[in-house]
Chain A
């Protein structure tokens, strides 16, 4: 009888004695990889109660029980490490990046506001905010240092802001530099998400845009789960408050799913949005499945979606007549602007 042990293939006779053996080298990594390959039980599973340790000693793989313990310990550790590192699939790496991006967004917003308030006392006329302000402050510090080429130099010269003293200037400049580096980090993460999405979900990326696509995967939990959702679910993904926790910063209105941030939907007039969002959701569901099963980019998907949306626009040029009590009271009446 042949059987597979972590240290080699053994040939046993009836009474369990090892007749012959094909042993492996004592290389931990090789043994670990081999151990992983034996997880799928096929032929050669040792019988119940098989004494692996005595077999390893009997066939001379190890010289002592201590050596057996030591090697097996190394091998199981290495195998577990390999398995765990393989357990972060590309879509999970994207999810981790999306979560990191949300955290950075939240931080960067808070810090940018702080900078704005802080620097506002010294140069209230700058009109800058966000990254532009952070870059400005990091570069010049006091408005006195603004060089003449800068479009803000005239405003800086006759600003009614307070003088910035040396110590405060150092502090605020350093703060602004940190904010700038967070903005850089954010771009880096966004670029990472875009390129990873192009690799693992090219169709979703094409139809939804890489960021919205990544967020859909993130909320669903994996590409596989997203691909299993019907399009009606995709349409409302993210509408649930509980699901919203990692969308804290750039969250669209919670009464719609996050696909409402899709440009085809959020630029459409209100009466077309429901129909367009159904069409988009249907194609996104298809795109997710294609990405999961084939991974090939199918440009015709985008063309079909375009055609479908054109058709919806053409067929619904006007807002529907207000029916009595149909719940549209809050919508602006007579908004007859037609989409070209």
Chain B
């Protein structure tokens, strides 16, 4: 029988020989991207591959994950829903507003959302937060993984509109989306500085570290609004 321990609300570590990250499956019996299913004490868990998910990597890099069972999340860059599915597991009584702008990818995300009542698929450009203002309520967490050059600005503009004053911003910053030649460390410093100073609202960085060895040239950032 695998052993299970809680790392953070809704996030677990399964030990069965080796340790693996997992969430409790909101859609029992179904896997999303080939992850394993385990039953422990009457609940089904899905393993969570940190190499496939920047949020998963952030958990292992000891970020304090600000997600609770009833959290509302605005997720920018949902792609086909690998990470969204785990967020959906974690915020089982909350909501994941999943924004993605590629119609092709959205097709997969729709399949996922049809099976998960707390995932709201939105085909839109996260760079234009006003285009989904008629759908999205204020949220506890803005999560962003769009891998675009202006990712910090996109995060800030969405936070300005949707983040509750005590909410958190979680960001994956990809060094190569910004400047392919520059030194990633320098890129990360610049992006963090932008978040602290360049936009309205300004952020207070709570944690920022790279996501090695799970993702190369990626920085994870946890921030909240500056008072």
A interface list, Cβ under 8 A from B: 4-6, 35, 38-41, 45-46, 48-53, 69-70, 72-73, 76-77, 79-81, 83-84, 87
Contacts and interface: CB of A to CB of B under 8 A. Distances in A.
B133 interface: yes
A81 B95 CA distance: 19
B110 A6 contact: no
B110 A80 contact: yes
Contact of B133 (A46, A53, A81): A46
B156 to A, nearest CB: 12
Interface of B: 95, 103-104, 106-107, 109-110, 113-114, 117-124, 128, 130-138, 160-162, 164
Given A35-B134, A41-B128, A77-B113, 15 more contacts: A38-B134, A39-B131, A41-B131, A45-B134, A48-B161, A49-B161, A52-B136, A69-B118, A72-B135, A73-B119, A76-B135, A79-B123, A80-B113, A83-B106, A84-B107
A81 B122 CA distance: 10
B168 to A, nearest CB: 16
Contacts of A4: 134
A80 B122 contact: yes
Nearest to A56: B137
Contact of A73 (B104, B117, B160): B117
Contacts of A5: 134
A70 B131 CA distance: 22
A77 B137 contact: no
Nearest to B94: A69
25 contacts: A5-B134, A6-B135, A39-B124, A45-B134, A46-B133, A46-B134, A48-B162, A49-B161, A50-B138, A52-B136, A69-B117, A70-B117, A72-B120, A73-B117, A76-B113, A77-B114, A77-B120, A77-B121, A80-B110, A80-B123, A81-B110, A83-B106, A84-B106, A84-B110, A87-B104
Contacts of B114: 77
Contacts of B133: 41, 45-46, 50
B160 A48 contact: yes
Contacts of A6: 134-135
Nearest to A4: B134
A85 B124 CA distance: 15
Nearest to A53: B137
Given A6-B135, A35-B134, A83-B103, A76 B122 contact: yes
Nearest to B98: A76
Contacts of B131: 39-41
Given A39-B131, A45-B133, A83-B106, A76 B120 contact: yes
Contacts of A48: 160-162
A72 B117 CA distance: 10
Contact of A51 (B113, B118, B130, B137): B137
